[in-house]
Amino acid sequence: MTVSAPQEFVSRRTLVWRRFLRNRAAVLSLFVLAALFIGCYALPPLLPYSHTDLDYYALQQPPSTTHWFGTNALGQDLLAQTLRGMQKSMLIGVCVAFLSTAIAATVGAVAGYFGAWRSAALMWIVDLLLVVPSFLLIAIVTPRTRESGTILWLILLLSAFSWMISARIVRGMTMSLREREFVTAARYMGVSNRRIIVRHILPNVASILIIDTALNVGLAVLAETSLSFLGFGVQPPDVSLGTLIADGTRSVTTFPWVFLFPAGVLVLIVFCANLVGDGLRDALDPGVRPARRKRNSHR
């Protein structure tokens, strides 16, 4: 890290932010994600068709000026449906990402800081949850939840099964932080354990938590759409990108647009989320990868 002008004080936050802005792909992805998120909530009221309307004059029609994404066999407008699906999928993705990272931070920090029996017990739970086929368990429970609660259940269940590996990483980092002087000093000054974890441990693992949250968005969206694709996620009459793609799969060889539009949007969302995650990783710990275009500078 070279700060050329020492008289100009640059905080770490500014540095990270600058490094992130330098990564064009990540910045563009962040914009696309924001636009998609706002668009899927803002656009539906402006459309002439809602996602439940049936247009009997346009059954299974390819994209046209009246139906931009075409229509399905029932005459539902696919643009309106895709937007509705995006609302559900993105909402679940973001909530699960934050929730699972919060669980990972808590469990990892507690296990790493206290060690002994707490660590053993928590890591044993981690092992157990890694062995239990989480996909199966979620699939068993969600079809039996009631309509309105399904989304909430999905968020809770998906978060409950996606924090384990990050928790292990946080635990490892906490264990090495615990031995550092500032933690020992705080302990001798009589600072409570809870306060040490919140004020001294967590800020020091914040970078890994931020990266983890960003990358979890993509994973959570994929998990939700996968479940919905099989009929174990969002339940009809509501739609998610997964159920839309499942509908499209049946006619993929004959009416490909029913599949292609929701699938394209899904891949775009997850791709952008991953690029943002990668950008954050590069910005937060530049040590992982050598400076960009090292090779070019030698030429």
Partner 1 sequence: MTRFLARRLLNYVVLLGLASFLTFTLTSMTFSPLDSLLERNPRPPQAVIDAKAAELNLDKPIPVRYGDWVAGAVRGDFGTTVGGQPVTDELWRRIGVSLRLVIIGSIVGTFLGVVAGAWGAVRQYRLSDRVITTLALLTLSAPTFVIANLLILAALNVNSFLGLQVFEYTGETSSDAVGGGWNQFVDRLQHLVLPTFTLALGAIAGFSRYQRNAMLDVLSQDFIRTARAKGLTRRRALFKHGLRTALIPMATLFAYGVGGLFTGAVFVEKIFGWHGIGEWFVQGIGSQDTNIVVAITVFTGVTVLLAGLLSDVLYAALDPRVRVS
Interacting residue ranges for partner 1, rule: CB under 8 A: 127-128, 130-133, 135-137, 139-141, 143-144, 218, 222, 225-226, 229-232, 245-246, 248-249, 252-253, 256, 259, 263, 266-267, 270-271, 273-275, 278, 288-290, 292-296
The rounded distance, in Å, linking the Cα atoms of 231 and 16 is: 42
Q: How far is the CB of 259 from partner 1 (least distance, A)?
A: 6
190: left (phi over 0), alpha (psi -120 to 50) or beta: left
CA-CA distance, 170 to 204, in Å (whole number)? Answer: 10
Residue number with CB closer to partner 1 (49 or 161): 161
Q: Minimal distance in Å, beta carbon 213 to partner 1? A: 17
- C-alpha distances in Å from residue 61, one per residue of 64, 143, 240: 8, 31, 21
In the numeric block, which tokens belong to residue 186?
């705080």
Compare residues 195 and 250 and give the one whose CB is closer to partner 1.
250
**Cβ closest to partner 1, residue 109 vs residue 208:** 208
Q: How far apart are CA 237 and CA 235, in angstroms?
A: 6
Buried b / exposed e across 175-206, counting CB within 10 Å, b at 16+? eebbeeeebeebeeeeeeeeebbeebbbeebe
Instruction: Output the smallest distance, CB 142 to partner 1, in A.
Output: 10
Nearest approach in angstroms of CB 83 to partner 1 is: 19
Q: Rounded CA gap, 220 and 134, in Å?
A: 13
Q: Give least dist CB 23 to partner 1, A.
A: 13
Name the minimum Å distance from CB 52 to partner 1. 25
| Torsion angle defined by CA atoms of residues 105, 91, 19 and 176, in that order, rounded to the nearest 10 degrees | 10
3-state helix, strand, coil in the chain (%, to 5): 70, 0, 25
Instruction: Compare residues 112 and 248 and give the one whose CB is closer to partner 1.
Output: 248
- Nearer of residues 79 and 244 to partner 1, judged by Cβ: 244
Cβ-based nearer residue to partner 1, 133 or 236? 133
Between 106 and 274, whose beta carbon lies closer to partner 1?
A: 274
CA distance 190 to 202: 18
In whole angstroms, the minimum distance from the beta carbon of 278 to partner 1 comes to: 7
> What is the dihedral sign for C-alpha 130, 131, 136, 138?
negative
Other Cβ atoms within 10 Å of 145 Cβ, number = 15
For residue 162, what is the DSSP state? S
Residues in the chain: 299
Residue 197 Cβ, how far from partner 1 at the closest point, in Å? 28
Which of 5, 291 has the CB closer to partner 1?
291
